[in-house]
Structure 1
Amino acid sequence: MPHIHILTVSDRAHAGHAPDTAGPRALELAAEHLPGWTADGAIVPDGVEAVRSGVLAARDRDADVVLTLGGTGTSPRDLTPEAMDGLIGMELPGIAELLRREGTAQTPTAALGRGRAGVVGRPASGAGNGAGTGAVPAGRATVVVNLPGSVRATDQGIPLIAPILGHLVEQLAGGGDHARH
């Protein structure tokens, strides 16, 4: 059974100074749009090391997909995209482009989003994964997608990417149907 981990990135929510509204909403949407998947979540503060640690911890707990919520903007503490440096071995730019394009249609400031999408770890073939860089230990392939930390971005983003996640996870495991055109 595939598993998605929701990682909320927020100094304020982590410190208990503000509620995490996007994380619980993401879990609801995952249950709705990814039937048959399991889901859990956590909150980490903003910052490169906290986000990296959260993603790697989820991967170590066998997450197939880690969806980060927050830290993708332009403020000084928005460092989620930088946390992906050295983690992502295979970029999936089409996912990030889709999220920005559709987000901008609803909210012009979505164009400022710097979220990334890619694969952490080793796809079944071992190709295109940054092997040999020493950045991420070999092992299972985990998809990471960065979304902004708002409920609105969560409401827009999860329904957009949910239809492709199952196929993506299958392909990374060495299966899946290549002939879906």
Structure 2
Amino acid sequence: MTETSVPIGVVTVSDRASRGLYEDKGGPGIVAALSELVASPWHPVARVIADERALIAETLIALADAERCPLILTTGGTGPAPRDVTPEATEAVSDKLMPGFGELMRAVSLKAVPTAILSRQTAGIRGCSLIVNLPGKPSAIRECLDAVMPAIPYCIDLIGGPRLETNPAHCIAFRPKGA
């Protein structure tokens, strides 16, 4: 990690993983994808927490406000089960919702599995942080990140975050001319 390394929040929301009963594959899946997609120096600020709405909200607030992560990616808790409350926690701590992220992720995932319609992924802005809820399965995480990553750097620019460059071999970020 260097002085100019960008902190990126990586939050696994899982009762079993947080208790050590299940190996966290979601968080490492996010880190693996970002390792290919992001060219700027960055480092993960990882958390593995239980499916508790207040805990999820508290973690997102800490990563945005105290850790100053311009990007926070969550995995897990986006389905229809009673304990799946990640979108509600994200919405509760966001200043603005960014529904296009969830819409695009569902559209991409529907090409692979019909149950993608059950996913409630969303995204929101808190201060200078973009929070994006991803699915829990590593292959779905990559699929969704590949879809939304071209828009993430410019979104971070617009909310006052640091300039994030992508690896053009894996992702070309869109920025208007002159941005």
Indicate the TM-score class for this superposition, using the shorter chain for normalisation.
Answer: 0.7 to 0.9
Task: Verify the 8 A CA contact 1:31 1:39 in the aligned structure 2.
Answer: no
Runs of 4+ with >6 A deviation: none
Give 1:11's match in structure 2, choosing from 12, 15, 20.
Answer: 15
Q: Residues of 2 paired with 1:175 and 1:21: CA distance?
A: 28
8 Å CA contact 2:70–2:162 kept in 1: the answer is no
Match of 1:48 among 29, 50, 53: 53
- Contact kept in structure 2, 1:8 and 1:42, CA below 8 Å: yes
Which residue number corresponds to residue 167 of structure 2?
none
How far apart are residue 11 of structure 1 and its match? 0.4
Aligned mate of 1:115, from 116, 121, 127 = 121
**Counterpart mapping for 1:100-111 below 5 A:** 100-111=106-117
Query: What RMSD over aligned residues (CA atoms) do the two structures have, in Å?
Result: 1.9
Contact 1:72–1:113 (Cα < 8 Å) also in 2: yes
User: In the aligned structure 1, how far is the partner of 2:35 from the partner of 2:150?
Assistant: 13
- 1:78 equivalent to 2:78? Answer no
Give secondary structure in 2 for the equivalent of 1:143. Answer: strand
- Displacement, 1:174? 8.2
What is the CA–CA distance in structure 2 between the aligned matches of 1:171 and 1:20, rounded to whole Å? 32
Deviates more, 1:35-44 or 1:10-19: 35-44
Does residue 92 in structure 1 map to residue 98 in structure 2? yes
Contact 1:34 1:162 in 2 (8 A): no
Q: Is the 8 A contact 2:73 2:134 kept in 1?
A: yes
Q: Secondary structure at the match of 1:27?
A: helix
Q: Secondary structure of 2:131's partner?
A: strand
Q: Name the amino acid aligned to 1:114.
A: R
**Counterpart position of 2:133:** 146
d(CA) in 1 for partners of 2:48 and 2:38? Answer: 21
CA distance in structure 2 between the partners assigned to 1:43 and 1:37 by the alignment: 23
Structure 2, unaligned runs of 5 or more: 164-174
- Alignment identity in percent? 30
Task: Work out the number of aligned pairs and report it.
Answer: 161
The answer to whether the 8 A contact 1:31-1:37 is kept is no
TM-score, normalization by structure 1 = 0.82
Structure 1 unaligned segments of length 5 or more: list them: 122-140
In 2: Cα distance, 1:161 partner to 1:37 partner: 20
Q: In structure 2, what is the equivalent of residue 63 of structure 1?
A: 69
Give the secondary-structure state (helix, strand or coil) at the position aligned to 1:18.
Answer: coil
Distance 2:32 2:86 in 1: 23
Alpha-carbon distance in structure 2 between the residues aligned to 1:34 and 1:175: 13
Residues 3 and 37, structure 1, Cα contact 8 Å, conserved in 2: no
**Separation (CA, whole Å) in 2 of partners of 1:37 and 1:171:** 20
Report Cα offsets for 1:131-168 as digits up to 9, x if no partner: xxxxxxxxxx1100111111122121122222221111
